Amino acid sequence: MRWFISAGEASGDAYGAALVQEVCGRGLSPQIEAVGGRLLRQSGVAMVADSTRWGAISIGQSLAVGGRVGLGFVRAKRVLSTGSPGVFMPIDFGAMNIRLARFAKARGWKVLYFIPPGSWRKDRQGADLPKITDAVVTPFSWSADILNGMGANAHWFGHPVRALAPEPPPPGDREGIAILPGSRHHEITHNLPIIAQAAKDWPTCEFAVAVTLDPDELRREWVRLSGRSNDRFTTDDVYGVLSRARTAVVCSGTATLQAVVAGTPMVVMYRLGRWAEVEATLLGFKRRVKYISLPNIFLDRTLVPELIQHNANPEAIRDWVARLESGPERTAQIAGFAAITEMLGPPDAIRRTGDLLAEWLGGSPVQ
């Protein structure tokens, strides 16, 4: 049986690789093809396209990567059009994967959407999902409820950030600052210089380097910007970096949930380029969006500080890192993390999705 995975960003690449390991660990040996990054490639699948540099958050950035994404889209459609259909599993990245799911479904593929785009929204879900999928595995309970109400076959097994996390670290000694500056190259361009200015007097820092980045290149740029040469750069161990740190500076995104699971108080920061800021202003982003970080969105209140654009300045970052060293802000965040972890559900998302995939890949009828 064929299995095609389509992951457009770093988190999807990690989830896809974990699912490959889960399924193949059961003794199954499907023919696996994928759009993805380094982790999927290392898992031994046949790569159709490399999505390492596809991440974008604005129209301008999307146009900049559009050629690469378009080429990957064409390659994926070509593979989906040839040979016997199997199981198509898109992971998030709705700009391309919704179209691919519709295309695959029309050609006889069983479509299992893992983490549908916008699944964090509590008021609505993707209108097309019931028609273009055979099943959806979503990371949030409210998403499953909404989708099932729309007629989809939706499952909630918990959020994969919990499934991929080790056991929570004991409340022992922590020291230093974890820095998660983002997984996209434009995030590094805009975030890293600001963090470097804030870090002049910090104790030890450790970077959790995204799989989309070159750690040696990031290290050279950090030393150039900050003058600090003894900080650590760790790849493929986000939870380890977070669990060793006293506090964290985190670029908004999935990393905020990883910090929650690791129990590491954080300040969230994000800088946009000039044209992306103009675009956000013209589209009324500031008026329409109450929070940008998932912890605050989940609780619908300000649990973690969000320093955005010009508010993400060295002085503000340095001030928040100091405040989170001890005291009421630190205590409040740790208490809030417990509530969010409960929302994330059991650590079963990869195993139970593996159950579903094993059934499909083994030729059993779709439930």
pLDDT band at 126 (very low <50, low <70, confident <90, very high): very high
For residue 284, the model assigns a pLDDT of 52
Q: Which CATH class is domain 177-344?
A: alpha beta
Instruction: Reduce the secondary structure of the chain to three states and give it as a string.
Output: CEEEEEECCHHHHHHHHHHHHHHHCCCCCCEEEEEECHHHHHCCCEEEEECCCCCCCCHHHHHHHHHHHHHHHHHHHHHHHCCCCCEEEEECCHHHHHHHHHHHHHCCCEEEEECCCCCCCCCCCCCCHHHHCCEEEECCHHHHHHHHHCCCCEEECCCHHHHCCCCCCCCCCCCCEEEECCCCHHHHHHHHHHHHHHCCCCCCEEEEECCCCCHHHHHHHHHHHHCCCCCEEEECCHHHHHHHCCEEEEECCHHHHHHHHHCCCEEEEECCCHHHHHHHHHCCHHHHCCCCCHHHHHHCCCCCCEEEHHHCCHHHHHHHHHHCCCCHHHHHHHHHHHHHHHHHCCCCHHHHHHHHHHHHHCCCCCC
The CATH 3.40.50.2000 portion of the chain extends over: 2-164+347-361, 177-344
Architecture field, domain 2-164+347-361: 3-Layer(aba) Sandwich (3.40)
Output the pTM of the full model.
0.87
For residue 64, the model assigns a pLDDT of 56
pLDDT higher than threshold 50 for residue 367? no
pLDDT higher than threshold 60 for residue 307? yes
For 90-119, what is the mean pLDDT? Answer: 96
For 228-249, what is the mean pLDDT? Answer: 94
pLDDT higher than threshold 90 for residue 66? no
pLDDT band at 217 (very low <50, low <70, confident <90, very high): very high
Share of the chain above pLDDT 90, in %: 75
Q: What is the pLDDT of residues 28-60, one digit of tens each?
A: 999 999 999 999 999 999 999 999 877 545 445
